[in-house]
């Protein structure tokens, strides 16, 4: 096998032939955070890198298949490349039918006015990058079934009432699978209606007297998974397969921006799967020599909830390495104390689950982690919308808010060539 799933918390590699590497079995043990990540050797990346010219109507899960753990697992176990392509294409076609538009490569733009490159994920299936995490997971489940797993016997589960839930509902429908979505009592009506139209089962989660601290939707989701449901979720700790699909975004960006590589990438961070998938893809591409330099990554969170920025500052102040910090989780990462509110609701996770991988990437790339105010978030969304005419939401422009912040504080070098991601469309 040229690809493996390894725990960022305890370095344990999952068995090469494991069909469903959702999470590290050592989770909950010791002080470390057990989140699996995907590792591909530099030779694998060079060998799997697409040679033909990228065209916008391609299916990224076909184009970058040889850079995915799912493909390496499949072909090591006897599935042919042609069979894999057929499965990825079939899923792509079903997604296009459900969505009413083709699955394609999302636009890589450059805005002279905003002086930044913009990767537009609002054009993705279901209107956000979240679809990538879940398409990758759904494809992996098909592969696993072909190899003998019986995942169709299980319901899929997710706790979300935003972009992730909508993406999960589209993907589950396209894959012909049952999905249970755990939502809060105050979920937006528009989202509830869409989930219903897509045939997703909804479980409204009130806080129970007996509940420990934390989001009741997430608690019910964990109970469901413990009871046999499979996670169709976007958090790396519960569903490491989400990172496989997430990396397709990184590969796509490396290819699109390779000729004029950005020096600085500002990425919004909630649970952290987006940033960790991206950072890992870029750093693997760098190690493989596909790109000459690794852009500096900047993680952006709201002033109202920034557990990752807090961890970054604590790490800096301690003078410790990420390797030293990971054994002392409680000193770096804990749930945000107050109930956070923000117009960028998608990045309000009270913990950053993938913090170890992200901090590693920030250190390796000489990047940073920064907070933005609500005012800055509003400003960023307004400027982005009026300049680009893209109907992007405030979470979707929160990385761009980070760029504005870095510019105004003078921390961005004058000759920087930044890149931001517009990750979610207005509903
Ligand atoms: C539009 C959008 N962008 C970014 C994020 C943050 O992604 P992550 O939770 O993987 O850090 C989210 C998460 O909900 C989102 O909906
Ligand atoms: Zn582990």
For residue range 162-212, list pLDDT tens digits in order: 999 999 999 999 999 999 999 999 999 999 999 999 999 999 999 899 988
Q: Quick one: pLDDT at residue 161?
A: 87
* Cα(75)–Cα(219) distance, integer angstroms: 36
Q: Quick one: pLDDT at residue 261?
A: 97
Atom of ligand 1 nearest to the CA of 347: 6
Please list the ranges in the chain whose pLDDT falls under 70: 1
Residue owning tokens 């184009």: 63
Atom of ligand 1 nearest to the CA of 396: 1
CA angle 400/402/407 to nearest 5° reads 100
Are 386 and 64 a contacting pair, CB within 8 Å? no
CATH 3.40.50.1100 fits 108-128+243-422, yes or no: yes
Closest Cα partner for 171 from 154, 158, 161, 183?
158
Is the minimum distance from the CB of 271 to ligand 1 under 6 angstroms? yes
Closest Cα partner for 300 from 384, 376, 394, 372?
372
Q: Quick one: pLDDT at residue 1?
A: 62
Find the ligand nearest to 128 CA.
1
Report residue 391 as tokens. Answer: 């109907």
Pocket test for ligand 1, best of 236, 344, 395 (most atoms within 8 A of CB): 395
Q: Is 211 helix (H, G, I), strand (E, B) or coil?
A: coil
Find the ligand nearest to 161 CA.
1
Task: Decide: residue 256, CB within 10 A, 0-12 exposed, 13-18 middle, 19+ buried.
Answer: middle
Query: Domain residues of the chain, as ranges?
Result: 108-128+243-422
C-alpha dihedral over 8, 10, 16, 18, to 10 degrees? -90
* Cα(180)–Cα(221) distance, integer angstroms: 9
Indicate whether this model's pTM tops 0.95: yes
Q: Quick one: pLDDT at residue 212?
A: 86
* Spacing, Cα 278 to ligand 1 middle (Å): 12
Q: Can you say whether residue 417 is alpha, beta or left, with left for phi > 0 and alpha for psi between -120 and 50 degrees?
A: beta
């Amino acid at each position: 096998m040229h690809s493996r799933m390894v725990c960022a918390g305890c370095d344990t590699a999952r068995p090469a032939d494991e069909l469903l590497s959702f999470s590290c079995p050592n989770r909950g043990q010791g002080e470390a955070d057990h989140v699996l990540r995907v590792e591909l050797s530099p030779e694998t990346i060079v060998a799997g890198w697409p040679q033909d010219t990228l065209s916008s109507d391609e299916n990224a899960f076909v184009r970058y298949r040889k850079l995915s753990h799912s493909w390496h697992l499949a072909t090591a176990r006897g599935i042919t490349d042609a069979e894999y392509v057929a499965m990825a294409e079939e899923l792509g076609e079903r997604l296009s039918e459900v969505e009413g538009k083709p699955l394609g490569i999302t636009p890589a733009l450059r805005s002279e006015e905003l002086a930044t490159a913009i990767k537009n994920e609002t054009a993705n299936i279901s209107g956000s990058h979240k679809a990538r995490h879940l398409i990758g997971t759904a494809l992996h489940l098909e592969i696993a079934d072909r190899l003998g797993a019986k995942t169709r016997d299980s319901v899929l589960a997710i706790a979300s009432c935003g972009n992730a839930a909508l993406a999960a509902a589209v993907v589950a429908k396209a894959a012909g699978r049952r999905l249970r979505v755990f939502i809060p009592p105050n979920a937006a009506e528009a989202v509830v209606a869409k989930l219903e139209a897509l045939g997703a089962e909804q479980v409204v989660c009130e806080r129970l007297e007996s509940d420990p601290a934390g989001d009741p939707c997430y608690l019910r989701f964990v109970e469901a998974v413990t009871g046999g449901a499979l996670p169709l979720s976007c958090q790396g700790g519960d569903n490491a397969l989400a990172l496989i699909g997430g990396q397709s975004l990184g590969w796509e960006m490396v290819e699109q921006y390779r000729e004029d590589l950005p020096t600085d990438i500002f990425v919004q961070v909630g649970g952290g799967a987006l940033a960790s998938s991206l950072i890992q893809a870029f750093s693997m591409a760098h190690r493989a020599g596909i790109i000459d330099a690794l852009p500096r990554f900047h993680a952006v969170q709201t002033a109202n909830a920034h557990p990752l920025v807090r961890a970054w500052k604590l790490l800096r102040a301690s003078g410790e390495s990420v390797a030293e910090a990971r054994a002392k989780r409680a000193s770096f990462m804990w749930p945000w104390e107050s109930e956070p509110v923000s117009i960028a609701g998608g990045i309000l996770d009270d913990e950053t689950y993938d913090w170890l991988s992200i901090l590693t990437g920030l250190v390796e790339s000489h990047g940073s982690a920064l907070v933005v105010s609500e005012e800055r978030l509003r400003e960023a969304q307004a400027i982005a919308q009026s300049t680009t005419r893209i109907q992007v939401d405030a979470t979707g422009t929160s990385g761009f808010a980070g760029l504005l912040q870095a510019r105004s504080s003078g921390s961005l070098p004058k000759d920087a060539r930044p890149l931001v991601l517009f990750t979610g469309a207005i509903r």
